[in-house]
Structure 1
Amino acid sequence: MLARYHRLMGDDVFFLTGTDEHGQNIERIAAEKKVTPKEYCDEVVAQFRGAWRTLDISNDYFVRTTDERHIQAVGKFATALLASGDVYRDQYKGWYCPRCEAFFQPEELLPEHLCPIHKRSCEWTEEENYFFALSRYQERLMDLVGETDFVLPETRRNELLGVLKQGLQDFSISRERVHWGVPLPGDPKQVLYVWVDALLNYITAIGYGDDEATFKRYWPADVHLMAKEIIRFHCLYWPAMLMSVGLPVPKRVFAHGWLTKDGQKLSKTTGNVIDPFDLARRFGSDAVRYFFLREGSFGADWDYTEAAFIRRYNADLANDLGNLLNRTVQMVVRYFDGRVPAPSGESTDADRQLVEPAAALRGNLERALEADALQDVLILPGSLVVEANKYVQATAPWELAKARKSGDEHAGRRLATVLYNLIDVLRLLGYAFAPVMPRKGPELLAQIGLSARIEGGWAEQMRIGAYPAGTVVKPGAVLFPKYQVEAN
């Protein structure tokens, strides 16, 4: 959604996603499956790519940390890190979780040395590693996290400030007993810690190490999006390593919350999962994206139920938006032979109650996007849909049509204004929803007679009154068919 919005606004966008594929956990799972780590990764990557196609994800690049280009660039970065004076060799002793590939202080563990994230046993590890002097960056990181909006939402920033106030510990950047990883330059017995390797994807994918022009064009990143359990890596380890080699840090890191399903943690073992392929097949990818961005606050944890999905789909999309489009287009066909009339120029209180929030939509959306308030980006046009439906009821175009038929010229002018305003608002909604609904947004625009191609020119597209009167509407299929729940 963010990438599509910024493209629509004319921004130069590079939307990156991908897979980090090294580490002890991958090595272990591959051995259990009796395949090589690369074969196992290839299988998982195919599933991710299939899901992204099904969900119409518009990424510009898919990075794999097993790509040779990435590995070469990681070697270059590691060489610079070793030369910085911030890396030293020492003995490591501590509790390690193989699943999240992270070390924990004893006080961070749950009883019986359980990982606080996975609730599984951590392993006591002793080996000689290379360490990064994270403690040297205590003050700079405190300023970055505490004095800027580098970390959002506020709850995550406060969490990191708590970690910083306890004092930062240096962390190990290499492993001796792991073989599936990027070799550490100068010491073939060691591979880079998977989180060092993985974090570097943000810069290797845009040319660090082999394409300086593209790298400078897109770095520093405007925003990193990730789950809340890995903010320590992204907001402390990552900026410190960038500072160490003299590179700028990303402008913002936004940590999203966790999903549960029917009140339970998502788990493949218990079968308590959300199947994106099934949801896309039944409701369409646009509805899936709409629901997950609209239903819960992006930075908070929330619970998914299919009943909530169906309620939101039928209420917001089938009833409110879909019916608004259908009945407005049908009234233009019935009362003006399908050609959208010009407004009379007269304005009533009812008109202003619709037109004023419509005129404010562009600015409100831009402010919400700037703040990464993703739920608001859907609440704002959704509120305009509600106002438009209220406007239909308040103005009663069918009554105006009856009065016009009886010779009331004023009613005829009012009917023209009302239907023009509704079509013009639908135009705004088509553009505003298109980044979230890249299939249905263009379909909506096509039904009101406009090009289904969503292009630049954001300011003009979002200007109230820009719909060209005289355009012929083109009624089409129901935008969102109502979903009927089968009775048991």
Structure 2
Amino acid sequence: MANMSVKPKFYITTPIYYVNDIPHIGHAYTSLACDILARFKRLDGFDVMFLTGTDEHGQKIEKSALKAGENLQAFTDKVYVSFKNLSQIMNFSNDDFIRTSEERHKKYVSEIWRRLVDSGNIYLGKYSGWYAVRDEAFYGESELVDGKAPTGADVEWLEEPSYFFKLSAWQDKLLNFYEENPHFIAPTSRRNEVISFVKSGLTDLSVSRTSFKWGIPVPGDEQHVIYVWLDALFNYISALGGENSSYWPCDLHVVGKDILRFHAVYWPAFLMAAGIELPKKVFAHGWWTNEGVKISKSLGNTINPVNLVEEFGLDYVRYFMMKEVPFGNDGNYSRSSFISRVNADLANNIGNLSQRVLSFIYKNCEMKIPSTEALNDNDTEFLSFAYQSLNKVRKEIDQQGINHAIQFIIDLSAKANEYIDREAPWNLRKTDIERMGSVLYTLAEVIRVIAVLLQPIMPDASGKILDTLNVKERSFNTLNKDFALKEGHEIKEPFGVFPRLEG
């Protein structure tokens, strides 16, 4: 019989971020989603591997470094630090941070290249076609829009000797794989886009360049460097020390919709060709706009997540970014919606509930959790409803429905606010002290459940509520009556965890 104490594995990745400029809200958003999912899984008893990192090769970086008048490695080192700092400022719980300029990565990619050559999947030819440096991507004539890439990037005509990957040979195998694994690409709208792209016909992919040098040299032919996407994608395995790691295959790659093709077409084809098991799921999320306007450097309306944290505080930023839009859709940042969302859900709802109840217990029950002697059926039903919230939240998290998961917690708090208004413990204090105790007990226990469930989203704020409750055990297996607060358990002096924001 299997050892039941062995935790199930969960491996989640962000894309590795391109170090040609400092991080913006899009980077913070992807990593935050992964952080919440990783924290949730850890609290739910999984052995989690959460990977993020930086993509440090390619022509775009070479150009950016030259423009800045800096040495290439010094330039990437500097920008890498800004991504590493973002992880710390946003309180991301990643277990590793991979850089494609690291030896462990370069060594593994070189090994994969040899494997693809030996299996007949890479051949030498000549490339001529349109290339967008900004996207580090090749485009067919039919894909151009008004002489530009579909993303709006400028393209240039390239002709150079190139190694090719036999992508065309994997077309049918990819389509079969999508059919047999209907949840491999999410959301559904993105899955449909990928399938129609593959059905329209795959051409062999140029996987080396000779016109610049900033990359991993092709083993045995150092005139060429390995195409940045073939190099970058294998970070998901190089960071583990190879595909024999117990964390592979990956459970979830989270990516922006603009790089879905690389992850849902090229990546599985590379893996099939190298004889490596495929990841279980690729989830593509949407883009942010700023006050309804598309974010771009040229418009000067990029949103720096570090500035948001400095102004509003980390927990509010984490909360807003994940609650405001269904994960997978495009989202809009607006200052007024940020303030009204935080005030409605946190200050007025959860914050108000926790402050009212815990202050009342602290002042009127000698700082101790009161007796449960007068619990009635409505109370036990409400407690049972609270414990069941975990299953609802878990179901949404497993489908990356992060904003729906959060909504269940907000709804539970709203229900508790209705309960306190209905039961009015301040009146019971004069008429029925035992009943008052049971009402307050029920509310304190529901607050414990809410705070435990909130930990992945707002680790600091939920920790403060659990500290006030003086609760040490905080994993999800405590969300039942076996770990419920006990009569006479002493709490600490409450304080406002969610102050209102002024517009």
With structure 2 as the length reference, what TM-score do the two structures score?
A: 0.90
- Residue 176 of structure 2 corresponds to 143
Assess if the C-alpha contact under 8 Å between 2:135 and 2:153 holds in 1.
Answer: no
Where do residues 207-286 of structure 1 align in structure 2 (5 Å cutoff)? 207-208=241-242, 215-286=244-315
Shift of 1:190: 0.6
User: What amino acid maps onto 1:196 in structure 2?
Assistant: L
Assess if the C-alpha contact under 8 Å between 1:354 and 1:391 holds in 2.
Answer: no
In structure 2, which of residues 317, 328, 345 is the aligned counterpart of residue 316 of structure 1? 345
- In the alignment, the residues of structure 2 paired with residue 295 and residue 331 of structure 1 have an alpha-carbon distance, to the nearest angstrom, of 32
1:427 paired with 2:448, answer yes
Shift of 1:418: 1.0
Shift of 1:145: 2.2
Structure 1: tracts of 5 or more residues without a match: 404-410
1:328-357 Cα deviation digits (max 9, x unpaired): 0111123311111132264244x3663343
Assess if the C-alpha contact under 8 Å between 2:114 and 2:219 holds in 1.
Answer: yes
Shift of 1:412: 2.6
Assess if the C-alpha contact under 8 Å between 2:264 and 2:282 holds in 1.
Answer: yes
Shift of 1:465: 6.9
- Residue 78 of structure 1 corresponds to 113
- Residue 16 of structure 2 corresponds to none
- In the alignment, the residues of structure 1 paired with residue 168 and residue 301 of structure 2 have an alpha-carbon distance, to the nearest angstrom, of 41
Higher mean C-alpha displacement, 76-85 vs 262-271: 262-271
- Residue 227 of structure 2 corresponds to 193
- Residue 12 of structure 2 corresponds to none
Higher mean C-alpha displacement, 190-199 vs 77-86: 77-86
1:69 paired with 2:104, answer yes
SS in 1 for 2:371: coil
- In the alignment, the residues of structure 1 paired with residue 110 and residue 187 of structure 2 have an alpha-carbon distance, to the nearest angstrom, of 33
Where do residues 438-457 of structure 1 align in structure 2 (5 Å cutoff)? 438-451=459-472, 454=474, 456=475
1:330 paired with 2:371, answer no
Shift of 1:468: 2.2
- In the alignment, the residues of structure 1 paired with residue 207 and residue 421 of structure 2 have an alpha-carbon distance, to the nearest angstrom, of 64
Assess if the C-alpha contact under 8 Å between 2:371 and 2:437 holds in 1.
Answer: yes
SS in 1 for 2:318: helix
Cα distance change, pair 306–138 in 1 and its aligned pair in 2 (3 A): same
Assess if the C-alpha contact under 8 Å between 1:130 and 1:174 holds in 2.
Answer: yes
Shift of 1:39: 1.5
Shift of 1:463: 4.9
Assess if the C-alpha contact under 8 Å between 1:145 and 1:160 holds in 2.
Answer: no
Shift of 1:29: 0.9
- Residue 406 of structure 1 corresponds to none
- Residue 192 of structure 2 corresponds to 158
Q: Root-mean-square deviation (CA), in Å?
A: 1.6
Shift of 1:87: 1.2
- Counting aligned pairs with the same residue, the percent is 39
SS in 2 for 1:225: strand
Assess if the C-alpha contact under 8 Å between 1:173 and 1:196 holds in 2.
Answer: yes
Assess if the C-alpha contact under 8 Å between 1:395 and 1:418 holds in 2.
Answer: yes
In structure 2, which of residues 482, 489, 492 is the aligned counterpart of residue 471 of structure 1? 489
Higher mean C-alpha displacement, 143-152 vs 67-76: 143-152
- In the alignment, the residues of structure 2 paired with residue 334 and residue 348 of structure 1 have an alpha-carbon distance, to the nearest angstrom, of 27
- In the alignment, the residues of structure 1 paired with residue 494 and residue 137 of structure 2 have an alpha-carbon distance, to the nearest angstrom, of 54
- Residue 131 of structure 2 corresponds to 96
In structure 2, which of residues 119, 142, 164 is the aligned counterpart of residue 131 of structure 1? 164
Assess if the C-alpha contact under 8 Å between 2:383 and 2:445 holds in 1.
Answer: no
1:92-121 Cα deviation digits (max 9, x unpaired): 11111100100111221111x21211x132
Where do residues 41-60 of structure 1 align in structure 2 (5 Å cutoff)? 41-60=76-95
Assess if the C-alpha contact under 8 Å between 2:256 and 2:287 holds in 1.
Answer: yes
SS in 1 for 2:349: helix
- Residue 480 of structure 1 corresponds to 498
In structure 1, which of residues 378, 381, 384 is the aligned counterpart of residue 412 of structure 2? 384
SS in 2 for 1:91: strand
- In the alignment, the residues of structure 1 paired with residue 339 and residue 355 of structure 2 have an alpha-carbon distance, to the nearest angstrom, of 20
- In the alignment, the residues of structure 2 paired with residue 464 and residue 360 of structure 1 have an alpha-carbon distance, to the nearest angstrom, of 14
- Residue 399 of structure 1 corresponds to 427
Shift of 1:286: 1.6
Assess if the C-alpha contact under 8 Å between 2:374 and 2:435 holds in 1.
Answer: no
With structure 1 as the length reference, what TM-score do the two structures score?
A: 0.92
Shift of 1:467: 1.9
Assess if the C-alpha contact under 8 Å between 2:109 and 2:231 holds in 1.
Answer: yes
Where do residues 25-40 of structure 1 align in structure 2 (5 Å cutoff)? 25-40=60-75
- In the alignment, the residues of structure 2 paired with residue 271 and residue 414 of structure 1 have an alpha-carbon distance, to the nearest angstrom, of 59
Assess if the C-alpha contact under 8 Å between 1:358 and 1:464 holds in 2.
Answer: no
1:237-278 Cα deviation digits (max 9, x unpaired): 111111111110111111110001011121233321222122
- In the alignment, the residues of structure 2 paired with residue 283 and residue 402 of structure 1 have an alpha-carbon distance, to the nearest angstrom, of 41
- In the alignment, the residues of structure 2 paired with residue 301 and residue 320 of structure 1 have an alpha-carbon distance, to the nearest angstrom, of 26
Shift of 1:472: 1.2
Shift of 1:144: 2.3
- In the alignment, the residues of structure 1 paired with residue 430 and residue 84 of structure 2 have an alpha-carbon distance, to the nearest angstrom, of 55
Assess if the C-alpha contact under 8 Å between 1:424 and 1:465 holds in 2.
Answer: no
1:61-82 Cα deviation digits (max 9, x unpaired): 1111011111111111111111
Assess if the C-alpha contact under 8 Å between 1:424 and 1:464 holds in 2.
Answer: no
In structure 2, which of residues 128, 149, 153 is the aligned counterpart of residue 115 of structure 1? 149
Assess if the C-alpha contact under 8 Å between 1:146 and 1:157 holds in 2.
Answer: no
Runs of 4+ residues deviating >4 angstroms: 462-465
- In the alignment, the residues of structure 2 paired with residue 343 and residue 463 of structure 1 have an alpha-carbon distance, to the nearest angstrom, of 13
Higher mean C-alpha displacement, 13-22 vs 467-476: 467-476
Higher mean C-alpha displacement, 476-485 vs 90-99: 476-485
- In the alignment, the residues of structure 2 paired with residue 462 and residue 80 of structure 1 have an alpha-carbon distance, to the nearest angstrom, of 51
User: What amino acid maps onto 2:500 in structure 1?
Assistant: K
Number of corresponding residues: 467
